[in-house]
Chains A and B, each alone.
Chain A
Amino acid sequence: MAIGLASVVVALVAGVVVGPAGPTWWRIPLELLDRLPLVSIDSGINEAQWNIVWQVRAPRVVLGGLVGAMLAIAGAGYQGVFRNPLVDPYLLGAAAGAGLGATLAFTMLRDVTAGWVIDPVPAVSFVFALVTVAVTYVVGGAFGGGQRGGITLVLAGVAVVSFVTAVQTFILQRNVEVVRDVYNWILGRLSTAQWDDVRLVTPYVVVSSAVVLLHRRHLDLFRVGEDEAATLGAPVARIRLVVVIAATLGTAAVVSVSGLIGFVGVVVPHFVRLVAGAGHRRVLPLSLMFGAAFLILADIPGRVLTDPAETPIGVVTAFIGAPFFVIVLRARTRQ
């Protein structure tokens, strides 16, 4: 736990310190200390430089942490409920739905909403993500239900996701001019992050994470299968529903501001399980912390490497995530 917390702090500081433009790196921690009450240090940073740090970098770092934490704990929650370590928080259609929502917003609403102050894309993708997962749940429940619902739900997810993706592809194909916008959105970005985004997603992240964390004992019970969990007195269907709703709500909220960032939800819980064991009492809180640290750090190469252009964070996470995943798998099979 201490290591988890430490990694978050290190990532936060690194995230605020590194970046193109802005003041010399070592002055920033001094300035941060200076801003604390009762501490007074002359860091030599002027107002303009501070604005870069506080208005550009800081919200991006904080948002990155929130998104990473949410995706990782949602992934761990989904994996616990479905007893499958390869499941990600997009399993039941949160990502596909958000993608369709964003596509629709870019194609149909653009003319109408061009003058709006508030960008409608996050709201529309959030709603579509939730609706898609709800459809998966209804479809899965229609023939699955009962105790074995978990597997049926996953299969229903596969069907719904391919259907939604097909609709999205169809719309894109007929509106080629928005392909670039949609594509950028899908790859994920934290570059436009503002304190408003942080305020928007924080309640979802806090509530969703808390609900998933509160079910850590139940998720351990799920490890012996839904049938046996039921004979041990667990309300299996209700636990599954509550955890899935919480994880989906949080995922949809962060995805709607950051786009689809892959791999965090699978790689981080996997890593945690490898180092700390598979008990959810450790996996859930550690995933939360390492998820935050991972995404903040993964965001750093994105803004420095191809400066002044940005490398989308979805590319970076997959670029780091995929090889890392292979290493984790290798270590696993060797055990």
Chain B
Amino acid sequence: MVDLAVAYGRRQALAPFTATVRSGDWLGLIGPNGAGKSSLLRAVVGLVESRGDVLVDGSSLTLRTRRRRAELIAYVPQSPVIPDDMTGYEYVLLGRSPYVGYFGSESRKDKTIASDVLARLELTQFADRRLGQLSGGERQRLVIARALAQEAPILLLDEPTSSLDIGHQQQALELVAKLRRDHGLTVVSAMHDLTLAGQYSDRLVLLHEGHCVAAGPAAEVLQADTLAEFYGVRVTVHHEPDGTVVVVPRRDRL
């Protein structure tokens, strides 16, 4: 990303921002609400207008067609639209859209890939179920399955776990981590849970009011005084022996 900037009217949601993500890396975006995390991700997939440029393999995304972009980048929005009466299989098959011609329909290969993804994520039992009948965790896994069916080397996740309980959070993130290992995916995710963000990302970027205020490995970015300054919170930061950084909110007893 080179000097990517996003503005809504006069309000600048994201100041010029430059970052490089190496292929196969996981970059975690953190920051308080309204810091510009979602704007950054939406700008990358072209959902909001932005100045600046996004380079993939050294060439600009704006030079590619929308379909070609969809083959490169899969995006999981913060709150995906779930059509209640669509089946799990139909939903995952939508991920193949970038590969289908304008008036064409999905090929046998597209259908095989959709079925494979369902099988790989152990979601085959939901193939014929309607999305409206599934739980939040099951839907979330299907959303990730759809992104995976897109077979894009870059995966953008906007708060992928915000609606899930702690068990499903871990399940979903482990799934992404495993896929990243197996397929060499490059992941950029916006996350609220700082401990989880630190655990799964190789590098963190802390955004505040549209500016990048800290970047680096979890141990460097997640420091009590930094978080106090930008989140306005009192926290204790523990460093576990395995290198995990745990951020615990602190409560002053009266």
Contact = CB atoms under 8 A, between A and B. Distances in A.
B67 A227 contact: no
Contact of B90 (A146, A214, A220): A220
B86 interface: yes
Interface centre among A220, A229, A231 (most CB of B within 10 A): A231
Contact of B66 (A214, A227, A230): A230
Tell me whether chain A's interface is mostly helix, strand or loop, or mixed.
loop
Contacts, number: 65
Interface centre among A146, A221, A223, A278 (most CB of B within 10 A): A223
Contacts of B75: 228, 231
Interface of B: 45-47, 49, 66-71, 73-75, 77, 80-83, 85-86, 90-91, 94-95, 97-98, 100, 103-106, 150
Contact of A234 (B95, B97, B105): B97
A146 to B, nearest CB: 8
B149 to A, nearest CB: 10
Interface string A103-131: 00000000000000000000000000000
B94 A227 contact: no
A227 B97 contact: no
A292 to B, nearest CB: 24
A27 B77 CA distance: 64
A51 B75 CA distance: 64
B86 A233 contact: no
Nearest to A229: B97
26 contacts: A146-B49, A147-B47, A214-B103, A217-B97, A217-B105, A220-B94, A223-B81, A223-B83, A224-B80, A224-B83, A224-B94, A225-B81, A227-B47, A227-B77, A230-B45, A230-B46, A230-B47, A230-B66, A231-B46, A231-B47, A232-B98, A233-B67, A233-B97, A234-B66, A234-B97, A278-B83
Interface in A171-220: 214, 217, 220
Given A230-B46, A233-B70, A234-B66, A224 B81 contact: yes
A233 B83 contact: no
A233 B47 contact: no
Given A220-B94, A221-B97, A232-B97, 14 more contacts: A147-B47, A217-B100, A217-B104, A217-B105, A217-B106, A223-B83, A230-B45, A230-B47, A231-B70, A231-B73, A231-B75, A233-B68, A234-B66, A235-B66
Nearest to B80: A228
Interface of A: 146-147, 214, 217, 220-221, 223-225, 227-235, 273, 277-279
B94 A233 contact: no
A232 B81 contact: no
Nearest to B86: A223
Q: Please give me the 10 A-B residue pairs with the lowest Cβ-Cβ distance, nearest first.
A: A233-B70, A233-B98, A225-B81, A233-B67, A223-B83, A232-B97, A231-B75, A278-B85, A224-B81, A231-B45
B207 to A, nearest CB: 21
B40 to A, nearest CB: 15
Nearest to A216: B105
A232 B70 contact: yes
A229 to B, nearest CB: 8
A232 B150 contact: yes
Given A221-B94, A224-B83, A227-B77, A233 B71 contact: yes
Contacts of B80: 224, 228
A220 B93 CA distance: 11
Contacts of B85: 273, 277-278
A273 B83 CA distance: 13
